[in-house]
Copies of this chain bind each other. A is one copy, B any other.
Amino acid sequence: MKTVFEVIAEPNRRAILSLLALSEQSVGEIERQLRMTQPTASKHLRVLREAGFVESTVDAQRRLYRLKPEPLHEVDMWLAQFRRFWSARLDALERHLDRVHRHLDRSSIPAKKKSKDKATRPKPRTR
Binding site for B on A (CB under 8 A): 3, 5-6, 8-9, 11, 14, 17-18, 21, 57, 59-62, 64, 67, 69-70, 72-73, 75-76, 78-79, 81-83, 85-86, 116, 121-122, 124
Separation of A69 and B21 alpha carbons in the complex (Å)? 26
Instruction: List, sorted by A's number, 10 A–B pairs whose CB atoms are closer than 8 Å.
Output: A5-B5, A5-B8, A17-B82, A18-B81, A57-B116, A67-B85, A70-B86, A72-B79, A75-B75, A76-B79
Residue among A5, A78, A124 having the largest count of chain B Cβ atoms under 10 Å: A5
A72 contacts which chain B residues (CB < 8 A)? 79, 82, 85-86
- Which of chain B's residues have a CB closer than 8 A to the CB of A60? 124
